[in-house]
A and B are shown apart, each in its own frame.
Chain A
Amino acid sequence: MKRKSRFGRFTHGDTVFRWITFLFAASILLILLLMTMEMVKESLPSLQLFGWDFVTSSEWDAVQEQFGSLPFLYGSVVSSILAILLATPLSVGTALFITDIAPSKVGSIVAALVELLAAIPSVIYGLWGILVMTPWLQQTVQPFLIDKFGFLPLFQGAPYGVSMMAAVFILMIMIIPIITSITKEVLLAVPVAQKEAAYALGATRWEMLRMALLPYARSGILGAVILGLGRAIGETMAVTMVIGNTPQISLSLLAPAYTMPSVIANEFAETTSKLHASALMEIGLILLFVTLLINVMARLLIWSVTRGSAGGKA
């Protein structure tokens, strides 16, 4: 016997709707699996031929079909880590300024400006980097560094402008907004009682920040920094435009370098052979796994602070 409802004879609406939404939701998982499988499949020729040599060799020659990705790994790791080291104190300082030091109006204006900085597309940072920042580095900053600190291996060589240093600076500018805004969220999630207790014991504001606020928010801030690292490693356009795109490993910050996303951006559309495409795909695969790992780690750390905040506010 068929049931009838006010909405006509058709009573399976709920079942159908449930399945439709399920299909759309499940497609996200399918996309992710498909992406990973496709990347593994396409990198197989290179994986099988080079094995571990792929990450230990620094010879990258499309003509001889020799592919070693060490210079790109080096460039990605060094540029991202240096950018993080420079960006973290500035970001945490700015976040503290927004939440605890500035009057709330000033704080919200600064927060809004930082959000704007985060919304600017990577290619525009690159445009500014290549047309404004690198000429300035080449004419002013780098000659000065060579002159005064040229005895250090960090500042040796000619001032090219496009260099590891340029990439570090542009990455720093780009990841500061991300770290700042997440750190801000984490700081706001710290229970007010925590701060009040420190003040009640006679702490100055800085002592309150250092002894009550920062220790409580530490793992969340670490999460923000790691998330920034993930962004820095995957950042493509701006870095490609200022790093000089030379596959070499040099200690000098003035020397041009290369990163994993940059070599993909420059070579993938015009590969000379199947193996070349496969080697680039393998670089993509490494990038995928590294960013995956970093993101999972960061999310867990940020959750560990913000999840408990609902109970703490009471």
Chain B
Amino acid sequence: MIRYLSMRSLKNGLMTLLMVAATLAVLTPLVIIFLHILKMGASSINLDFFTQIPKPTGETGGGMANGLMGSAIMIAMASCIGLPVGVLGAVYLTEYGGTRMSTVIRFSADVLAGIPSIITGMVAYTLLVVPMKNFSALAGAVSLALIMIPIVLRTTEEQLKMVPGTLREASLALGVPLWRTTLKVTLASARTGIVTGVLLAIARIAGETAPLLFTALGNQFWSRKLTEPMAAIPLQIFNFAISPYDDWHRLAWAGALVLVVIMFTLSLAARYFGRQSQAR
């Protein structure tokens, strides 16, 4: 009996050890990647990175100012398209939902979220780049918006669902029309949660590269128009990483560090807002 039990507890200990080992194996690459980005990024980053555009091959120095600018512009444009569709679409699903149509829409959003991002790039290419005969920031923004919409829709829907029905009823009982109730009461009380979802969506598209390959294309210089090819940080990291030049590799590491810092700031902010919405 005792021997039997000790065999069992031995097995228990062994399996526990294995699970700890699995966790360590998962965390090791994370730590290694982080340390590399920190080390290589910190040694490559300087003021020029934020103020200069990339130098031609062979010259040292240069920065990714045009990429930072391009990313910011395209994220802003994508948000202008993606946020209204996502948020108002979610309002339809929660406030007027329950129909067969809303099930279909919810399903489409899930499907859209699962499509590889490179495919949204291909579609934006055939619908915008080919007719306009030019790679453009506009096409890049549209393909980013396509990625953003399902994320914003589903997180907003979750938040709206959590608004208590009594709150809506109280407003309606005061004679406020449903549409005003939705705007001033329902959306307003889900505000912080929605902001969390939006921040996470922005963090996601800030690092997207594949959909920009055939839409924004990238640009070694400043773009003057939205109908021209435009640089973006992830695109520059990709192009510099696969180049054979050490100097461009350094820029790529610096870009990676900046991108990671931006994403962590966004997700920390999202966490902060998320906690606030939970506390209420």
Contacts and interface: CB of A to CB of B under 8 A. Distances in A.
Interface of A: 5-7, 13-14, 16-18, 20-22, 24-29, 31-32, 34-35, 38-39, 42, 89-94, 96-98, 101-102, 110, 113-117, 119-128, 130-132, 173, 176, 180, 204-207, 209, 230, 233-237, 241, 261, 264-265, 268-269, 280-281, 284, 287-288, 291-292, 294-296, 299
B234 interface: yes
Given A93-B22, A128-B33, A299-B110, A120 B260 contact: yes
28 contacts: A13-B177, A13-B179, A17-B182, A21-B96, A25-B101, A28-B109, A31-B149, A32-B111, A93-B18, A93-B23, A94-B22, A94-B26, A97-B20, A101-B16, A110-B27, A113-B30, A121-B263, A123-B234, A127-B241, A131-B252, A131-B253, A234-B115, A237-B210, A268-B125, A269-B213, A288-B116, A288-B119, A296-B111
A242 B236 CA distance: 17
Given A14-B178, A121-B209, A292-B114, 18 more contacts: A25-B88, A25-B101, A26-B105, A28-B112, A28-B150, A31-B108, A34-B127, A114-B30, A121-B208, A130-B241, A130-B242, A132-B32, A132-B36, A176-B26, A241-B241, A284-B119, A288-B119, A296-B111
B101 to A, nearest CB: 7
Contact of A120 (B33, B126, B127, B217): B33
Given A101-B20, A269-B217, A264 B241 contact: no
A24 B89 contact: yes
B43 interface: no
B162 to A, nearest CB: 14
Nearest to A117: B30
B89 A25 contact: yes
B9 interface: yes
Nearest to A176: B26
A261 B114 CA distance: 14
B213 A28 contact: no
B12 A207 contact: yes
B123 A21 contact: no
Given A14-B179, A90-B26, A124-B259, A28 B153 contact: yes
A231 to B, nearest CB: 9
B8 A265 contact: no
Interface of A is mostly: helix
Interface size class of B (residues with CB under 8 A): 35 or more
B190 to A, nearest CB: 15
A124 B119 contact: no
A295 B111 contact: yes
A127 B37 CA distance: 10
B91 to A, nearest CB: 5
Contacts of B88: 20-21, 24-25
B8 to A, nearest CB: 5
Interface core residue of A115, A124, A207, A234 (most chain B CB under 10 Å): A124
Contacts of A268: 122, 125, 213-214
Contacts of A89: 22
B213 A173 contact: no
A114 B27 CA distance: 8
B149 A28 contact: yes
A22 B88 CA distance: 8
Given A97-B23, A261-B116, A295-B110, A27 B85 contact: yes
Nearest to B210: A236
A122 B120 CA distance: 16
